[in-house]
Structure 1
Amino acid sequence: MKQVQELIPLSRAQLDRYVHDPAYAHMGFPKPYKVGFRVFFLEQTIVDWIDRVTD
């Protein structure tokens, strides 16, 4: 999440809303991969999402 926050200047709470809150589903934020208690995002999916929402 720290690396995602470096790419997207939002709070962790807002990023959690983008991932979990159905009210934000229309934004199409990439789903994370969970390994144990850790959460990972593919960097390219985040970069693609940024490109899509800033166009």
Structure 2
Amino acid sequence: MEVIPNIKSKTLIDFAERQINCGSTIISDGCRSYRKLDGRGYKLQFLVYNPKKNPDHLR
């Protein structure tokens, strides 16, 4: 794994192609940038986070 400099679509696609096996499920918060991974061999699952109920993902 690695820290990526931003969450732009191009950055996420480059990272995914280097680090994530085709056919894997990518679970994210539904940020639009992740949607560009659709059709590239990845399964996408979006979860809606409620920052008031579970703020841990914001840290």
Q: Name the larger-Rg structure.
A: 2
Structure 1 length-normalised TM: 0.29
Looking at secondary structure, tell me which structure has more helix per residue: 1
TM-score when normalising by structure 2: 0.28
